[in-house]
Amino acid sequence: MIISFDVELEIADKTLPIIWDRPNSPGVKTPQYHKTLMQSMDYVDEIKGIILPAIIPEQLEYDIIKMLDHIRLLNDKKLNRVPVSVVNCTTNISDLIIERDDGVEPFQDNNIDIFPSESLSNINLQKIIGVIGNDKPFAEHHGLANEWGQYRLLSQLNLNGEFDVDLNEIRQNLSEVRYFKKLLLNEKKESPINGIDDRFKLLLNNLRDKKLNVAIIDDKVKNGWDKAYGAIFQNSDVISFDESENNKFDTKTSSDFDLIILDLRLEEEVTHDDSEIFGIEEISGIKLLIEIKKCDPSVPVIICTASNKSWSYDAAINAGADGFWTKESPDFGMSLDYRFNNTLDLLNTIDKVLKWSADIRPMYRAMSEIADDVNEINVPVGKSISVKTKIVFSQLHSQRSKFIENHYGQSGLTTAYLAICSLVNDAVSFFRRKVDENFSLIVGEHEYEFCELLGTDKDKQFIICDDVIDLIKIEKTEINKGYNPIKVNYLFPEKQFMNFLLEKSDLGKYRGRYGFLSKIRNHLDIIHSKPISEEFDVAVGDFQNADLPKLELIHLYQMLEIFYVLFTGKSIKI
């Protein structure tokens, strides 16, 4: 059987159409070479030759040399060697075909006297493939990575063939470009990696098990990046935004997402002048990142880009990005090892960012909620809590190495803990009322006398009311030292006020925890340079005989929970 494409000839047994991209477009149509040739796969066992037109009137985009290249780059070992004739050749086209010497016969008209009968040998085919597709479809690796990286990423994530359909769809689109088609053909010659690294599988499976809300923002997302990223978050809700007019990301919804993957360049192309460095802050992805972080600084954002420039990384991190990943480009490497390591780098970045977010984001949200609720009633106290929220977030956000922590202490964790503990000052300001020399406690619509201020400025004394003493004291037992609050104080009795506040707020169960956590605070190196002897003021419940531990993140959450319940009136499981 001799197959022709859009050429009516007596010698041809079957005529197949040339497929065009946007065939109904009034403008110039682009031929889909690969998709056109794939029609011949239905007759592969019968085909003895192919006839092609040299030119197609009024279709300037049609290029016979590209069509010939696509035949030689076909996956099928029979079709890519088949004899080919080209009809209606001009002198220039005939000269090009003869120069190629690749089993193609040119004819000036439709009269084919002798159809080529010999197929190409392996030697000749490799010679031809060696010179096909050397012209890259993009100016540099940035464009290549955007068009090629999603295929390489998805193929690495396709462990059990579950993404074969999606992968084939991306591969077919890549095959329309000779350069990519050649890379796809050469890729099959790579030696596969011996097994899959255990960490790779563990990371991937853990991410696939998570139930997250993930946003993908990339102008090339429909080129297959949605499928590639989606293969990582199989059990999550993934929403894609290509930043077109009807599909833009609304920064007001930033808090709705557990992770945002954002492309660096959503509009502009790469330049190679000074603007690439000095104008990096004006890149569309950086500008969107800044707006996202204004709405919610705690939402984790990973910048993904084809750029491996240091200034791109610096600009992203300085604008608030929590992670950075470079998309794979053929210019960076073609080996399976490179692809494996590049994908592992992405999984590690996502895992690290999500772990940081799980540790820190609930704390930021809880403190922000406290500040918002308080601000509606007492603006100065609300502002004070907002400042402390920023302090806590900034101290915990920094990625400190184990070396720094082991040798130089937990300064970030310590500072954040002190900021949370200092919310007691805001509690005093918010719940305390002073009339003349008397201080009272305000809880809801109720007011309770607390203490009286006596003396002069040089000799002040705060005298706590007897009813308060009776309520907050704890009787001594065989296993409990008890707590007998001091009635006369020379500074405002903050500790007693806090215990009184917890009791009157029906939160007396938190007193043991508060005393225990306060003791941790008082024994921090930043407060005291050496251990101090201290009577444990409140030791009840689970904390009555507890040993003093090293400060950990859980202690920050335990202290914050007390203030969250106090200020918002809502319970929370932190």
Does residue 392 fall inside a structural domain?
Answer: no
CB atoms near residue 24 (< 10 Å): 6
- Are residues 151 and 92 both part of a single domain? no
Q: What is the pLDDT of residue 574?
A: 60
SS3 of residue 440 by DSSP: strand
Does residue 272 fall inside a structural domain?
Answer: yes
| In 478-526, beta strands by DSSP E | 488-489
- Mean pLDDT calculated for residue range 176-204: 81
Q: What is the pLDDT of residue 570?
A: 87
Does residue 21 fall inside a structural domain?
Answer: yes
Q: What is the pLDDT of residue 513?
A: 92
SS3 of residue 540 by DSSP: coil
Q: What is the pLDDT of residue 546?
A: 55
Positive or negative CA dihedral for 332, 335, 338, 343?
A: positive
In this predicted structure, the answer to whether residue 537 has a pLDDT above a threshold of 50 is no
- Mean pLDDT calculated for residue range 1-30: 84
- Mean pLDDT calculated for residue range 308-327: 86
Does residue 79 fall inside a structural domain?
Answer: yes
CA dist 148 → 142, 183, 211, 389 (Å): 10, 10, 28, 43
Does residue 574 fall inside a structural domain?
Answer: no
- Are residues 174 and 194 both part of a single domain? yes
- Are residues 157 and 239 both part of a single domain? yes
- Are residues 216 and 193 both part of a single domain? yes
- Are residues 238 and 323 both part of a single domain? yes
* Rounded Cα distance, 242 and 213, in Å: 17
* Rounded Cα distance, 383 and 426, in Å: 10
- Are residues 205 and 329 both part of a single domain? yes
DSSP 343-404: HHHHHHHHHHHHHHHHHHHHHHHHHHHHHHHHHTT-HHHHHHHHHHHHHHHHHHHS---HHH
Radius of gyration in angstroms for the set of CA atoms belonging to the chain, rounded to a whole number: 36
Structure tokens, 398: 């920094």
Q: Count of alpha carbons within 13 Å of 65, Cβ hemisphere only?
A: 15
Residue 156 Cα to chain centre, angstroms: 18
More confident residue, 554 or 245: 554
- Mean pLDDT calculated for residue range 168-186: 89
- Mean pLDDT calculated for residue range 253-282: 77
* Rounded Cα distance, 5 and 416, in Å: 72
- Are residues 193 and 103 both part of a single domain? no
More confident residue, 333 or 93: 93
Positive or negative CA dihedral for 63, 66, 72, 73?
A: negative
Predicted confidence band of residue 533 (pLDDT cuts 50, 70, 90): very low
- Mean pLDDT calculated for residue range 152-167: 92
CA dist 311 → 260, 280, 283, 315 (Å): 21, 8, 12, 6
- Are residues 82 and 155 both part of a single domain? no
- Mean pLDDT calculated for residue range 393-408: 73
Across 180-184, 235-239, 331-335, the highest mean pLDDT is recorded for 235-239
In this predicted structure, the answer to whether residue 67 has a pLDDT above a threshold of 90 is yes
More confident residue, 557 or 573: 557
| In 483-556, beta strands by DSSP E | 488-489
- Residue corresponding to tokens 């508060």: 514
- Mean pLDDT calculated for residue range 447-456: 92
Positive or negative CA dihedral for 160, 166, 167, 168?
A: positive
470: containing domain: 424-568
- Are residues 448 and 555 both part of a single domain? yes
Q: What is the pLDDT of residue 28?
A: 75
- Are residues 189 and 286 both part of a single domain? yes
Pairing status of strand 84-87 against strand 104-106: parallel
Structure tokens, 173: 């689109």
Which distant-in-sequence residues (6+ apart) come within 8 Å of 380 by Cβ? Answer: 429
Predicted confidence band of residue 440 (pLDDT cuts 50, 70, 90): very high
SS3 of residue 129 by DSSP: helix
What CATH number does residue 316 fall under? 3.40.50.2300
Q: What is the pLDDT of residue 224?
A: 93
Contact (Cβ atoms closer than 8 angstroms) between residue 417 and residue 556: yes
Over the chain, what is the mean pLDDT? Answer: 87
Q: What is the pLDDT of residue 532?
A: 42
CA dist 156 → 179, 181, 443 (Å): 21, 18, 59
Does residue 370 fall inside a structural domain?
Answer: no
* Rounded Cα distance, 267 and 244, in Å: 10
Q: Which amino acid is at 229?
A: Y
Q: What is the pLDDT of residue 534?
A: 45
Does residue 369 fall inside a structural domain?
Answer: no
Q: Tell me the Ramachandran region of residue 495: left when phi exceeds 0, alpha when psi lies from -120 to 50, beta otherwise.
A: alpha
The structural domain count of the chain equals 3
Pairing status of strand 30-31 against strand 323-326: unpaired
- Are residues 123 and 152 both part of a single domain? no
Q: What is the pLDDT of residue 535?
A: 44
* Rounded Cα distance, 28 and 393, in Å: 56
Q: Which of 129, 157, 191 is the last residue of a domain?
A: 129
Among residues 113, 4, 103, the alpha carbon closest in space to that of 53 is found at 4
* Rounded Cα distance, 348 and 354, in Å: 10
Among residues 265, 274, 225, 273, the alpha carbon closest in space to that of 243 is found at 265
Q: What is the pLDDT of residue 74?
A: 92
Phi, then psi, of 17 in degrees rounded to 5: -80, 150
Predicted confidence band of residue 209 (pLDDT cuts 50, 70, 90): very high
- Are residues 259 and 199 both part of a single domain? yes
- Mean pLDDT calculated for residue range 109-121: 83
Predicted confidence band of residue 274 (pLDDT cuts 50, 70, 90): low
In this predicted structure, the answer to whether residue 9 has a pLDDT above a threshold of 70 is yes
- Mean pLDDT calculated for residue range 499-520: 94
Q: Which of 99, 129, 159 is the last residue of a domain?
A: 129
* pLDDT tens-place string over residues 20-53: 887 777 777 889 999 999 999 999 989 999 999 9
Structure tokens, 204: 């991937």
Structure tokens, 158: 């396709």
- To the nearest 10°, report the CA torsion of 398, 401, 406, 412: 0
Q: Which of 129, 149, 165 is the last residue of a domain?
A: 129
pTM: 0.86
Q: pLDDT exceeding 70 applies to what percent of the chain?
A: 90
